[in-house]
Amino acid sequence: MNIAIVGGGIAGLSFALGLHQRGIDCDVFESVTDIKEIGVGITLLPHGMRELSALGVQDALEAVGIENLESVFYTQHGQYVYREARGRHAGYALPEIGIHRGKLHRILFDAAVSRLGADKVHTGMRCTGFSQNADGVQIDFSNAHSGQPVSVNAQIAVACDGVNSVIRKQMHPQDALCFAGINTWRGVTVHPPILTGKSYLRIGTVEVGKMVIYPIIDNVDGKGNQLINWVAELQKPNAAMNDWNRPGDPAVCAEIFKDWTFDFLNVPELILKAEKVFEYPMVDKDALPFWTQGRVTLMGDAAHPMYPRGSNGSAQALIDARTLAEQLSLHSSPQEALKAYETLRLAPTAKVVETNRNVPPDFIIMKAQELSGGKPFRHIDDLISQDELRQISDNYKTVAGFALTK
């Protein structure tokens, strides 16, 4: 069996590593020509770390990331709502890690090149489409190195080419992004540790402005400061989508949060001192009726793009990768393996997409906002109990697939 993996991101590389563990041949085709450590932060939840640990990269990830101790929720007034332990500190066998996305990608890429061989990982290969027959699939690429079109034949192809997947679009021509008026800004700032220095903060709601803040590199400057990852979100009726392709303006973002000066954090200062800021629209896509068409299937963001809430997109992609690698090792027919994979993963990921839209982890703050009418309150316990808030958190973990079992 030989497999063409279209896309060398988290999904594609972890899938390639899983196939290699099982003795299955594959090639990875990545569109960029040079792998660089770019981007901002990502959180690896315990169920994502489970998959990465099985691929043998846990130690490398822990060496360059920060293990989260806690997740803490505040209103837009800086008032405490809820706190819970995370990862190992909550009783999981594996940690929850905040890490620079570029470092995660580099670890996976280097592992793939080392284990599969450099001749199996092809860069500068941008997919332009596919065709197939009873015997195999042909994937067409534009080769950035030569400037020429290239066609590759394989028994099956797996599309790991992201939210704007060419293969998904060919399968589902009417497919479209879903945008509900939420725009985001993402940045990284060198800053003293916030709270414990291992705290994942959520502040506010999208209607008034929301911030997600956590550290991704410790002692980044040798002076004890950390590299802090932050994401700002704001929903406005009839808002135009932010542009993926241009840098964000920290001043525009800081204006939204100009009054957010709390005893534990000066939010506008954090934003204005950012090393770089990117702007994005918050988008997802409606669940598909199918991922698999003959010898071709979808994986990760190509299969189920979801709101980047709950740090769950990467975890679901990693579970996809392991599931399909397992099914390919169990079935003699690759087409049967693709269908079995779809049966196992389509419905659960559709549920996560829906939950990320409607009842994400920050529903905890949304509930406090609703009960308080958006006004400051004396104490959160006057509005709702900590047990009720914990239930909201536990419900999300159950849907996402990382509820703690003892």
Could you list the pLDDT tens digit for every one of the 406 residues in the chain?
899 999 999 999 999 999 999 999 999 999 998 888 777 899 999 999 999 999 999 999 999 999 999 999 999 999 999 999 999 999 999 999 999 999 999 999 999 999 999 999 999 999 999 999 999 999 999 999 999 999 999 999 999 999 999 999 999 999 999 999 999 999 999 999 999 999 999 999 999 999 999 999 999 999 999 999 999 999 998 899 999 878 899 999 999 999 999 999 999 999 999 988 999 999 999 999 999 999 999 999 999 999 988 778 899 999 999 999 999 999 999 999 999 999 999 999 999 999 988 888 889 999 999 999 999 999 999 999 999 999 999 998 898 888 887 5
| pLDDT score at 81 | 97
**Where does the chain hold its CATH 3.30.9.30 domain(s)?**
178-284
Q: What is the pLDDT of residue 34?
A: 87
So what's the pLDDT on residue 406?
56
Sheet holding 66-67, edge to edge: 41-44, 97-100, 66-67
Report helix angle 313-330 to 46-54, nearest 10. Answer: 40
DSSP assigned state of 115: H
Q: How far is CA 274 from CA 194, 242, 260, 269, in A?
A: 15, 19, 16, 9
Tokens of 13: 């590389």
Q: What is the pLDDT of residue 161?
A: 96
Cβ–Cβ under 8 Å, residues 82 and 73: yes
In the chain, residues under CATH classification 3.50.50.60 are: 2-47+99-176+287-358
pLDDT of residue 148: 95
Q: What tokens does 403 get?
A: 């509820």
Instruction: State the pLDDT at residue 358.
Output: 86
CATH of domain 178-284: 3.30.9.30
CA-nearest of 187, 230, 208, 159 to 5 is 159
Fold for the domain defined by 2-47+99-176+287-358: FAD/NAD(P)-binding domain (3.50.50)
Q: Which residues 6+ apart lie within 8 Å of 232 measured at CB?
A: 184, 185, 186, 209, 210, 211, 253, 256, 257, 271
What's this model's pTM, rounded to 2 decimal places? 0.94
Distances (CA, A) of 119 to 16, 28, 137: 13, 10, 20
DSSP, res 261: B
Task: For residues 140 and 222, give the distance between their C-alpha atoms in angstroms, rounded to a whole number.
Answer: 47
CA–CA gap between residue 92 and residue 126 (Å, rounded): 39
Residues 6+ apart with CB under 8 A from 174: none
Helices (H), 231-273: 250-256, 267-272
